[in-house]
Amino acid sequence: MAKYTKEDIFRMANEENVKFIRLQFTDILGTIKNVEIPISQLEKALDNKMMFDGSSIEGFVRIEESDMYLYPDLDTWVIFPWTAEKGKVARLICDIYNPDGTPFEGDPRANLKRILKEMEELGFTNFNLGPEPEFFLFKLNEKEEPTLELNDNGGYFDLAPTDLGENCRRDIVLELEEMGFEIEASHHEVAPGQHEIDFKYADAVTACDNIQTFKLVVKTIARKHGLHATFMPKPLFGVNGSGMHCNLSLFTGDKNAFFDPTGNLELSDTARHFIAGVLKHAPAFTAVTNPTVNSYKRLVPGYEAPCYVAWSARNRSPLIRIPASRGLSTRVEVRSVDPSANPYLAMAVLLKAGLDGIKNKLTAPAPVDRNIYVMSKEERLAEGIEDLPATLAQALDNLKSDEVIVSALGNHIFEHFVEAKEIEWDMFRTQVHPWEREQYMTMY
Ligand code: GLU
Ligand code: MG
């Protein structure tokens, strides 16, 4: 059921004295794009008549097929609370359509909806996501550029005065609540300068919209505190990186399809097949859930990030953990995802992997309740525990040979994604890093 009608939007814009509307969408690499229109153009926008040049957006279309239309999703109407002074600014998240009225296959949001339809054909009604994004706060210099200086020395769940980022984080939470977010918790994370804010789960499309909005709000408010917020996965060597654990569940109506009070660990067969599918396709979907060169600096032993393809109901070292709550909150926590991922693409590949497990009734291996970090390679092999890819290049090779995950992206996104990421890898590969000079300059 839609939350708002066109009339509601006009009324709210009027009542709140909104002067500008940002029409937002996300490109293939996960960057938010927006076209700002004055209020006089609202009617045209709500009639799906706003056009933009698709060829100017990374990985979208060629010059000769460049006209694209923005179809606003009315339920995403939000007024940015920090824009009050010269007339308020509101935003609407849009789907992208071709001139002939068909959804554009390079639109990550529309692509996720396509996979959600496949889910519905299997009898489920909802795919829920509760994300746990982590980020770092660094000080800005006089020129407002980010430095490597942290603004606190806090650790996990620390309180002020160590946690100077606390005021900033509190402001972020207040802004988010004003925008309708339900914040479940916010705390200092393990590394100095690192924070986490958890918001309530929602259906996958809404949760992905929320993640995109969340990043924008965190960066905007941090700036007001003289800080730079970064979602890069591993900004500092030697301390934890930033993940974005994804708590996933499938529902049929109001019934959690992962919960079965009579099952082992109170998990249903559906949950076990879903887990099996996620484990099977992990080597390939990692290219999407961990899409930067830097992502693989986080997926190393010793920093609470997973490096191995396994699951556990207790332990935090594997790729998948099953948090203790049962009943409606029974869920699968995928711990490898990092916040540099395009959330819409990440959800499309995770859902597709899980559905593949359900469709083919794949069997999950036994859960691993030992700390995998301390197991030797031989012990891991004996238990059938594979490594996650160690580099972006490896992950891209795995992606290219997994038809199921390729089909979760569709050809257009797959081709543009791989092309952009191979260039990224190649640029990195040919750089000479300071570490190499430190090691070799005097040695040779
Ligand atoms: N920061 C850790 C990671 O890279 C996760 C810490 C936690 O368990 O919340 O995934
Ligand atoms: Mg955390």
Q: What is the CATH number of the domain that holds 28?
A: 3.10.20.70
CA of 380 relative to ligand 2 center, distance in Å? 26
Neighbours of 4 (CB within 10 A): 15
Q: Name, in order, each residue with C-beta under 8 angstroms of 345's C-beta and a sequence gap of 6 or more.
A: 28, 30, 108, 111, 112, 288, 409, 413, 417
- H-helix or E-strand spanning residue 192: none
CA of 131 relative to ligand 1 center, distance in Å? 12
pLDDT tens per residue, range 20-70 = 999 999 999 999 998 999 999 999 999 999 988 877 776 676 665 678 999
DSSP state of 420: H
Average pLDDT of the residues in 428-434: 96
Same domain for 283 and 418? Answer: yes
Average pLDDT of the residues in 160-178: 82
65 marked as part of a ligand binding site: no
Same domain for 88 and 199? Answer: no
Indicate whether 215 pLDDT > 70. Answer: yes
| Domain-ending residue, one of 59, 81, 104 | 104
pLDDT band at 111 (very low <50, low <70, confident <90, very high): very high
Domain count, the chain: 2
Same domain for 81 and 135? Answer: no
Which of 184, 187, 188, 189 has the most ligand 1 atoms within 8 A of CB, as the residue to mutate? Answer: 189
Residues with CB under 6 A from ligand 1: 134, 189, 240-243, 298, 303-305, 316, 335
Range of the domain at 330: 114-434
Which of 190, 196, 198 has the most ligand 1 atoms within 8 A of CB, as the residue to mutate? Answer: 190
Please state the atom number of ligand 1 nearest to the C-alpha of residue 191. Answer: 1
* Closest-CA residue to 316 (of 263, 270, 369): 369
pTM: 0.95
Q: Specify the pLDDT at position 164.
A: 65
Identify whether 308 is part of a domain. Answer: yes
Same domain for 392 and 427? Answer: yes
Same domain for 118 and 82? Answer: no
Torsion, CA 218, CA 222, CA 227, CA 230, rounded to 10: 0
